[in-house]
Amino acid sequence: MAKTTKKKKINKTNKNAHTKKEVLNNIENDHSISKVIKCIVSVLAIFGIMYLLTVLILKKSSTDYITKDVEKTTIQYSEILAGTSFDKKDNEYLVIYYDLKEDDNSIYQTLLSDYEAKDNHLPIYYVDLSNSMNKSVISTESNKEANSVAELQINGPTLIKFSNHKIIEYIEGKEDISNYLNN
């Protein structure tokens, strides 16, 4: 009988040991699952706090980025490239060539606006000689007889009157241009 009671005690202790291990494993599993859940909740909380701080600091919502008062875009047709001087759709028109980076460029802008304010004025365009796209027409000598852009040579401020895509008047110098546009 001593042997059977000993075996029963060993079995009981083995059973108790197995149940203790199982309980400890279950507790460890529950503990690791709770750690993962706590990490996920912590990360989400941090992102939420950062978002709220960003919104509060900037004091803007997504609707603030939408512009409600949109100004209409206007296209200006008066500045042209020298290469299009002979190609305008008008039968008669004027083209003034001057350097917008020069100190006296405001004089030409005033002349243009005053001329355009007149009744019965011809369409007038201007070419900015400081623009690198227009450097090909700048020369030390003028060509008043040019029939194409390839032949066009401008030496300083110049006003050209075109009729049927040909030069009919060629005026050079600030004073002569001013007199022509003011008459």
Instruction: Compute the average pLDDT of residues 56-80.
Output: 69
Give the tens place of pLDDT for each residue, 98-124: 998 888 788 888 898 899 999 989 999
pLDDT for residue 26: 66
Reading the block at residue 59, the tokens are 């004091």
- What contacts 155, CB < 8 A, 6 or more positions away? 138, 139, 140, 141, 142, 172
Q: Is 177 or 68 the better-scoring residue by pLDDT?
A: 177
Model confidence, pTM? 0.59
SS3 content of the chain, % helix, strand, coil (to 5): 50, 15, 35
pLDDT for residue 106: 85
Q: Is 24 or 138 the better-scoring residue by pLDDT?
A: 138
Residue type, 167: I
Q: Which runs of consecutive H residues, i.e. helices, occur in 59-173?
A: 105-117
pLDDT for residue 64: 57
Give the tens place of pLDDT for each residue, 21-59: 666 666 666 777 888 888 999 999 999 999 888 877 777
Q: What gap in Å lies between CA 122 and CA 113, rounded to an integer?
A: 13
- How far is the CA of 129 from the CAs of 101, 102, 133, 149, 151, in angstroms? 9, 10, 8, 14, 16
Of 6-15, 18-27, 50-59, 167-176, the poorest mean pLDDT is in: 6-15
Q: Residue 157 carries which DSSP code?
A: S
